[in-house]
Amino acid sequence: PARHFDTSTTEPVSFFLSGLEELLAWQPDTNDDFNVSAVPLARRQPPLRSKRPRTLVCHDMRGGYLEDRFIQGSATRNPYVFYHWRYIDIFVYFSHHTVTIPPVCWTNAAHRNGVPVLGTFITEWTDGERLCEAFLAGGAEAYRAVSEQLARIAQHYRFDGWLVNIENTLSAAAVGNLPPFLRHLTAQVHGAVPGGLVIWYDSVLQNGALRWQNELSEENRVFFDACDGLFTNYNWKEEHLERTRRLAGPRHADIYVGVDVFARGDVVGGGFDTDKSLRMIRQHGLSAAIFAPGWVYEHLGEENFLHNENKFWGSLAEYLPTHSICTLPLTTSFSLGMGTSRFLAGKEEEAGPWYDLSAQEIQPLYPEREGRLSTSCCLQDAWCGGSSLRVQGTIPPGEERVAIRLFSLQMPAPPKLFLTLLYKLEGPQPDEFAVALELTTWDSGTCYEGNITSLPEPNGRHHPRFMPAPPPGLAKLLAACDRGSHGWTSRCYELDLQDCSLRDLSLLVSRHQPSPQETSFTCLLGEVRVLDAASMVASPPQVQSLTASQLWWR
């Protein structure tokens, strides 16, 4: 069927639903298997329900369902990717189709990094009025059928809820049923999807008029009260934020103040001035909804996209609280889910562009310190996948080393950890430097490295012991302990901890000789793993009753 498979290539594709009839007629189909997310939502800290102001990203690009619709990837040169997952809380996939089901590659990439994904339910113009009249103006049965279908769709494709966007005027009968529809939809989504969400876009008022408020007001509050949050329109000023904060009361983190990166209309700041909008939003303790950050790609062009993307998100980092990983194992080769080649074990296996967000790996923090440190993606060389992480920086005069924070962690440390690192030093004198991993722990007073007779580490910094060879029984898993290839260096480490809580994983770059001069370094990271030794020794569960279906040989 054309909905599930591309008519020219027969490849499976992601799709949307148009109109009320298609929504109500939808039911699970055997051709759906490709579209069901295969990656459960990873746990992270703090959880979404915490009262900390959040960051929502609403992805709206050229109507949606572009190269990202190809579920098994495509040979796209310079595609759009998003990878600053550590800095955001919610990802919305937006299009102008009635029911926007997020392409499964986005759900997979977001879930791997702990971010929930919402689809969009939108009605607009005169068609939207007719659609709303059909399901809202009648009795409860009609709107309940719609909310039950939307919840079933989210549950079936394994994404996390809906942004609801009614952008047309409503009759008195229709607007009267809108709050009960939202309450029913929210309850259905919560019941069908663990941690599910329904967010309302600031558009119609309680009298049915279409008038964007750019704030939470007495006119739209009834819709906010019926669901999990409000996404405001973009043309606000500081007084709107003040009134919103007062009216929202304890639910201030459930207000997502809209920021249009394209800066359309009368806005505080978009483009590379988006930080001005975020600063003001955070001063009032509200959440932010960053709309169309694909501006970086669409407006500045695809050629220098990765550089501009790091610059854009780096300019906002001060206003984006980051998230911590709270489960092991942590393992990543930093691949963005795209590349100009494919690499395996440090060797180029296949040249040519590729794009597949489902293959994106866990992404780190991307620390930037003006002139002293930058982290970016390197497409020219990788250990595995399409890219490695390039860390460029300087060691200041008289100092021996510098620590670059890769991941924030928040979990109890197991008694024994194995860590592995694959790296490559570039530049004129790579032999000047040593590279290692550093783990920090929260200062608890009870945390010891090694056994109880050891002294506590000053300020919780632990330098895992280098292991020249893997311990017996783990030779297969940690095969490359002292054996890199194709210019990559491989290292394994172990660390014993007692009553500790993990805090940060950093890359440590040190120079062998202290120097009065500043020294610059460039290091590529190919893979990092943090493993709980106890769970590594246990044999993995056997895979049972494997089947293969939907095969197409070419």
pLDDT tens per residue across span 213-232: 999 999 999 999 999 999 99
Residue-level pLDDT at 273:
97
Q: Are residues 439 and 340 in the same domain?
A: yes
Query: What's the one-letter identity of residue 62?
Result: R
Residue at which a domain ends, from 308, 323, 338: 323
Q: Are residues 314 and 338 in the same domain?
A: no
DSSP E strands in 442-515: the ranges are 448-449, 461-462, 465-467, 489-498, 501-511
CB proximity list for 127: less than 8 A, separation 6 or greater:
none
Name the burial class of residue 26, with classes exposed (0-12), middle (13-18) and buried (19+) by CB atoms within 10 angstroms of its CB. middle
Q: Are residues 277 and 158 in the same domain?
A: yes
Q: Is the pLDDT of residue 427 over 90?
A: no
Q: Is the pLDDT of residue 17 over 60?
A: yes
Contact by Cβ (8 Å): 514, 402: no
Cis omega (within 30 of 0) for bond into 46: yes
CATH number of the CATH domain containing 250: 3.20.20.80
Give the tokens for residue 91: 């990802």
Q: Are residues 313 and 342 in the same domain?
A: no
Name the burial class of residue 317, with classes exposed (0-12), middle (13-18) and buried (19+) by CB atoms within 10 angstroms of its CB. middle
45 located within any domain: no
CATH number of the CATH domain containing 347: 2.60.120.260
Q: How many domains does the chain have?
A: 2
Name the pairing type of β-strands 519-532 and 489-498. unpaired
Residue-level pLDDT at 258:
98
Rg (the chain; Cα; Å): 25
CB proximity list for 303: less than 8 A, separation 6 or greater:
78
Residue-level pLDDT at 451:
54
Q: Are residues 150 and 172 in the same domain?
A: yes
344 located within any domain: yes
Q: Are residues 159 and 304 in the same domain?
A: yes
Contact by Cβ (8 Å): 189, 162: yes
Q: Is the pLDDT of residue 482 over 80?
A: no
Contact by Cβ (8 Å): 207, 170: no
Q: Are residues 339 and 205 in the same domain?
A: no
* Secondary structure (DSSP) of 358-405: GG---------BTTTEEEEEESS--SSBS-EEEEEEEEPTT--EEEEE
Residue 474: pLDDT band with limits 50, 70, 90: confident
550 located within any domain: no
Residue-level pLDDT at 459:
64
Q: Are residues 295 and 342 in the same domain?
A: no
Give the tokens for residue 451: 């056994």
451 located within any domain: no
pLDDT tens for each residue of 149-193: 999 999 999 999 999 999 999 999 999 999 999 999 999 999 999
Give the tokens for residue 189: 């989504």
Q: Are residues 222 and 357 in the same domain?
A: no
314 located within any domain: yes
Range of the domain at 391: 330-445+458-534
Q: What is the pTM of this model?
A: 0.96
Residue at which a domain ends, from 290, 323, 356: 323
Name the pairing type of β-strands 55-59 and 287-291. parallel
108 located within any domain: yes
Q: Are residues 402 and 259 in the same domain?
A: no
Residue at which a domain ends, from 297, 323, 349: 323
Q: Are residues 307 and 405 in the same domain?
A: no
pLDDT tens for each residue of 373-417: 999 999 999 999 999 999 999 999 988 999 999 999 999 999 999
Q: Are residues 400 and 270 in the same domain?
A: no
384 located within any domain: yes
Encode burial over 318-349: b for 16+ CB neighbours within 10 A, e otherwise: ebbbebbbbebebebbbbbbbbebbbeebeee
126 located within any domain: yes
Q: How does DSSP classify residue 102?
A: P
Residue-level pLDDT at 471:
76
